[in-house]
Amino acid sequence: ATAKIWRFEADGTPKKDFVLNNPHYAGTVLLAGKNFGSGSSREHAAWAVAGYGFRVVVSTFFADIFRNNAMNNGVLPVVVPEAFSRELEQTDWRVPAHTVTIDLPRQIIRNDATGSEAHFDINPFKKECFLQGYDDIDYLLAHREDIENFEQKRQSL
């Protein structure tokens, strides 16, 4: 069986009519459909999204495994209500001023074309990691002194 290659021609050149090859649609936010990442229990799915350059995926629902793998690989999964997702689908993204803003500190996504906003949830630990640019190991290393102090106190008990 041969795999269908959507993005590239057989010779490896980008297909001109594939949307992700159009520089007009280049960006770091992927507006996805419902139930993104379902059936994806491997980390490769998150690697592919991150490898393309996406840093945020917006959907109405994420499979738990994909959501966790995405966050572990520097991709922020943003869950929005169905009505907000429909509005994003109906926005004319060909207009350069039409963008999406992700305000992670406030946990808000804004459709800059309409001014509409939606709140999204994120685990506080992962939020801090994203804001500091940490992975899980970086987080621990940043708290090394606190950990060492705790261990010294614990051992002296």
- What local confidence, expressed as pLDDT, does residue 40 receive? 67
Neighbouring CB atoms inside 10 A of 75's CB total 22
- What local confidence, expressed as pLDDT, does residue 22 receive? 84
Q: Find the mean pLDDT for residues 51-75.
A: 94
The predicted-structure confidence for 121-148, as pLDDT tens digits, reads as follows: 999 999 999 999 999 899 899 989 999 9
- What local confidence, expressed as pLDDT, does residue 1 receive? 46
- What local confidence, expressed as pLDDT, does residue 61 receive? 95
Buried b (16+ CB within 10 A) or exposed e, 17-38: eeeeeeeeeeeebbbbeeebbe
- Higher pLDDT among residues 24 and 153, named by residue: 153
| Rounded Cα gap, residues 142 and 112, in angstroms | 35
Structure tokens at 100: 């999406």
| Rounded Cα gap, residues 140 and 6, in angstroms | 41
| Rounded Cα gap, residues 105 and 108, in angstroms | 8
Stated pTM of the model = 0.83
- What local confidence, expressed as pLDDT, does residue 29 receive? 93
- The DSSP letter of residue 110 is E
- What local confidence, expressed as pLDDT, does residue 126 receive? 96
77 pLDDT band, cuts 50/70/90, is very high
- What local confidence, expressed as pLDDT, does residue 4 receive? 60
The predicted-structure confidence for 95-107, as pLDDT tens digits, reads as follows: 877 899 999 999 9
- What local confidence, expressed as pLDDT, does residue 43 receive? 87
- Higher pLDDT among residues 4 and 103, named by residue: 103
